[in-house]
Chains A and B, each alone.
Chain A
Amino acid sequence: MASPVTATVGGTARPGGGLFRLLKLWTDPVIRVFVGGVDTARRIGAFTLISLGVLATKFGKSPRVIRPLVQQQILRAGVNVLPIVCFLGVALGVVIVGQTVLLLMQVGQEKLMGPLLVTVVVRELAPLTAALVVLARVGTAAVTELGTLRAVGEVEALEALGIDPIHYLVVPRLIGFTVSIVCLTVYMILFALVAGYVVAFLQGLSMGPAAFFRVIADGLSWVDFPLLALKTLGFGILTSQIICYHGLAEPLRLEDLGRATTRTVAHTLVASLLVDAVFLPVYLLI
């Protein structure tokens, strides 16, 4: 910390020093947050590369141990989350699809229904919502679980047995979370569109279900399928890796777990929105 003497000298020696200090006071926290964010992104990136490397090099190793762990993660992050995803899909359909369809009918722009619903539901809301539901429902618990393993030394115990903790703890979550988010996104899209159609039909939409879904299909481009797959894969990989990074990568004490969980949620939200932003220019070009 600068002593009062140096501060005074610095203040009088430089013209406009007060303004400079004020500016510094405003910019310093921003710079600190930015540098901290970049550093965290770099660490999570390195962790992800290590995990993907282990996945590639140990792909066929010990399938009788790893496969049940993957199934367990799919059960936790996929099957058990399915009811809430279906519910949210229906809610999304009622609120977004139903209203949008009715609004477009009122202004006589039914032809925009396909592109609009594809953009809002298929490309944007469904993948993001599925990823965030998995984060909220399973991710926070997973950080606590992994962090506890690290804090009580079970990770070192695995290493002592010659078992790679990345292979045993991270790879099943990487596969399980990614598969789950991809599948849950598909369910969410289906439920949102069906519920949306039902609401719109009940409010006077003069279109059969086949015609409605043909309009949606017309709004889809073939590029949407690989892009949706890539986006949900990105969400799955990032979500699982941020969770595992905060649970495992740094030595934790039990009292640090709460903070690690909060950071996981914040980082996953930011990372998901960044992934979304990466896809934006591609969608604009379609």
Chain B
Amino acid sequence: MAAPVIQMTDVTVVHSRAPGVPLVTGVNWRVEEGECWVVTGLQGSGKTALIETAAGLHPYPAGEVQVFGQRVHGTEGEGLEDVRRRVGVVFDGHGRLFGSQTVLENVALPLCYHRNRSWEEVGEEVMGLLQLMGLETLAGQLAGRLGRAWAHRVALARALVQRPGLLLVDNPLTGMDPYHARWWRGFLGRLLVGLPELGGVPMSLVLATNEPRALLGLGRKFAVTHAGRWRCMGDRQEFERCEDPELRGLLYDED
């Protein structure tokens, strides 16, 4: 049987800039291959830190995190680079693109680095991906000059270029206009069933959001970071039935 994509056992997630401050404690979480998890919670409840911990970017003071069966602990651990290459991360906001590089260079960088190829040699492959994502006209633009919605899409392209098995997306729809929000939902749905252009393999998705309503149709399982605790809520029906007033405040615009 294949190892779970993510396995967290009693993990304490801390703030990236304040390692002594626990944000979420007691995280027990198992993500299987092909699943789509929506992790929600109020702003500042630790969703981003959780995602970065799962990506092997943060150390954590307690528990154990395994990704694709490999133990990760922030910057430590053998084979961490290989694990990171199997995990695509789309950061919040402008996606932490390299602002002084063009869109093409941003997306091509991981391929060039890991395959030891020049920009020209991977250009065709990268342009194919950019076309698939409607970004081909932006290829020559500096990433630092893109608007938020387009930058976030470029960040998704950069995360996908190495064909990861797991995609972690932080706030995919926050601040998006309806056009981009629809595109994101559609594209993430296609990734979930497997895009032929990316090998056709269903991808495991973890989507962190403080607007879970927009992702109700996409998520198969739901979890919440709330008041420093981690709660797996189950499927959509179970999630929608939750009684906690603050969690209901995330889902429903009611007093």
The residues of A with any CB-CB pair to B shorter than 8 Å are: 61-65, 152-154, 156-157, 159-164, 168, 251
A47-B197 Cα distance, complex, nearest whole Å: 42
- Is B117's CB under 8 angstroms from A154's CB? no
- Is B96's CB under 8 angstroms from A159's CB? no
The residues of B with any CB-CB pair to A shorter than 8 Å are: 16-17, 52, 55, 57, 75, 81-82, 84-85, 87, 89, 91, 95-99, 109-110, 112-114, 116-118, 158-159, 162
B92 CB to nearest A CB, Å:
9
Given contacts A62-B114, A62-B116, A162-B85, contact A156 B158 (CB under 8 A): no
Given contacts A64-B118, A153-B96, A154-B98, contact A160 B84 (CB under 8 A): yes
Cβ-defined partner of A161 (8 Å) among B16, B17, B84: B84
- In the assembled complex, 8 residue pairs joining A and B whose CB atoms fall closer than 8 Å, in A order, are A62-B112, A65-B113, A152-B96, A157-B98, A160-B84, A162-B85, A162-B114, A163-B113
A61-B113 Cα distance, complex, nearest whole Å: 8
Closest 8 pairs between A and B when the two form their complex, measured CB to CB: A162-B85, A157-B96, A162-B84, A160-B89, A161-B110, A153-B96, A162-B81, A62-B113
Known: A65-B116, A162-B82. 6 other contacts (CB 8 A): A61-B116, A62-B113, A64-B118, A159-B57, A159-B84, A163-B109
Given contacts A156-B57, A157-B91, A163-B109, contact A63 B116 (CB under 8 A): yes
A156-B82 Cα distance, complex, nearest whole Å: 16
Chain B positions within 8 Å of A164 at CB level: 81
Cβ-defined partner of A153 (8 Å) among B82, B84, B91: B91
A70 CB to nearest B CB, Å:
14
A163-B112 Cα distance, complex, nearest whole Å: 11
B35 CB to nearest A CB, Å:
21
A60 CB to nearest B CB, Å:
9
Cβ-defined partner of A251 (8 Å) among B17, B55, B110, B162: B17
A17 CB to nearest B CB, Å:
38
Cβ-defined partner of A156 (8 Å) among B52, B85, B109, B159: B52
A112-B85 Cα distance, complex, nearest whole Å: 64
